Amino acid sequence: MAGCKGGLGGEAPHVLAVDDSSVDRAVIAGILRSSKFRVTAVDSGKRALELLGTEPNVSMIITDYWMPEMTGFELLKKVKESSSLKEIPVVIMSSENVPTRISRCLEEGAEDFLLKPVRPSDVSRLCSRVLR
Amino acid sequence: RPFESHFALGPIYSYTARPSLILAQHRQLLRQAAAAGGRDDDPSPPAVWSPVSLHRRATHSQHNGRPPPPSAGPPSSCGYLDEQFCQVEDLQDDASPNFTEEVVTLFFKDSARLISNIEQALEKYPKDFSRWDAYMQQLKGSCSSIGASRMKSECMSFRDCCGQGNPEGCMRSFQKVKREHGALRQKLEAYFQLVRQAGPAGAATRPV
């Protein structure tokens, strides 16, 4: 699969993957790495925000919708409310095709909404659209 | 050696081929062998039968210059795994040579925990369909991620019974989920044993 072009200095874009499922985390990380992204995978919205506070060069966040304690939607809102984080594209993943859920996420500023299981072709599409 | 007799990989291996090419050829043969292999209730081939779904039709293989034997049954009737498993396998490369097995290991660890949670919930929270459904949704998601199609189907049946408020149906479905889980574990263990027997790419000792 063709990889994404790097950012400044040709460095691979850094993607933060958020999913409470260890299986899904492994699969999405594998897909992202095969597309030549640099990947950090965490298991909760809380950990994602902690990492975003210390890691300045996250190019994209891809997060599961349904997670305990903080949903992907809540994470999206927090990112978009933050002056330092709001420019980071956020992509939501979900195993359920619920139109109202999708609209709500897109209205809140999500770049895209992917249905699980996520395929490499979904990530290729993201690369061209989201990481301009 | 049972692996040799059933998968006839001799003509494919080459000392001069790149290791990644040998691995790719090997995996293709495994898939073709699975597609050509017997049904679940077929006493032969032996326990090392690959569980890969028959969705990928066996094309004329290169081994021995002969096409593989025809499929023993319709593609969807015995597919424990669907195309998603192939997608996971395709992510495996030289940098992550054990990716598939790692993901499958995570799946069985996660699914065992979820099944235990559901079992406890069925006992402790009678007719709490939304709780039961929430747990099963997680399990179904994991099944979907690795392409465990038969198990996913039983998860969906369970959720249907939750939606109908049918506790007996839930119990029956849950037993089927557990059976499929056990069967899938056996199949995948046999599959990875086969892969390990084949040895690392480039380490083949069979003559061209």
Contact A31 B137 (CB under 8 A): no
Q: What is the pLDDT along chain B (208 residues), one digit of tens a residue?
A: 333 333 333 332 333 333 444 445 545 555 554 454 433 443 333 333 334 433 333 333 333 333 333 333 222 335 899 999 999 999 998 889 999 999 999 999 999 999 999 999 999 999 999 999 999 999 999 999 999 999 999 999 999 999 999 999 999 999 999 999 999 999 999 999 988 888 765 444 334 3
Contact A117 B84 (CB under 8 A): yes
Q: What is the ipTM of this complex?
A: 0.86
pLDDT at B132: 96
Contact B110 A31 (CB under 8 A): no
Closest alpha carbon to A65 in A123, A13, A104, A31: A104
pLDDT at B82: 92
pLDDT at B73: 28
Instruction: Note whether B109 contacts A: Cβ–Cβ < 8 A.
Output: yes
DSSP A85: T
pLDDT at B195: 87
pLDDT at B118: 96
Which residue among A22, A30, A95 places its CB closest to the CB of B91? A30
Note whether B11 and B63 are within 8 A (CB): yes
Question: Which amino acid, B17?
Answer: A
Contact A116 B109 (CB under 8 A): no
Note whether A53 and A78 are within 8 A (CB): no
Note whether B193 and B184 are within 8 A (CB): no
Which residue among B102, B110, B145 places its CB closest to the CB of A117? B145
Which residue among A22, A66, A117 places its CB closest to the CB of B144? A117
Judge if pTM exceeds 0.90.
Answer: no
pLDDT at A128: 72
Terminal alpha carbon distance of chain A: 18
Query: Strand, coil or helix: what is A117?
Result: coil
Closest alpha carbon to B87 in A94, A113, A26, A118: A118
- Cα separation of B65 and B52, whole Å? 23
Q: Residue B116: exposed, middle, or buried by beta-carbon count in 10 A (0-12, 13-18, 19+)?
A: exposed
- With a cut of 70, which residues of chain A have pLDDT below it? 1-10, 130-132
Closest alpha carbon to A128 in A8, A9, A13: A13
Contact A22 B109 (CB under 8 A): yes
**Residues on chain A bordering chain B, Cβ-to-Cβ distance under 8 angstroms:** 21-24, 26-27, 30-31, 33-34, 66, 95, 116-117, 119-120
Q: How far is B141 from chain A (nearest CA, A)?
A: 7
Q: Give the H/E segment covering residue B136.
A: helix B129-146
Which residue among A23, A33, A120 places its CB closest to the CB of B107? A23
pLDDT at A125: 82
- Which residues in chain A touch residue B106, judged by CB atoms under 8 angstroms apart? 22-23, 26
- The sign of the CA dihedral B90, B93, B97, B98 is negative
Instruction: Note whether B94 contacts A: Cβ–Cβ < 8 A.
Output: no
pLDDT at A127: 75
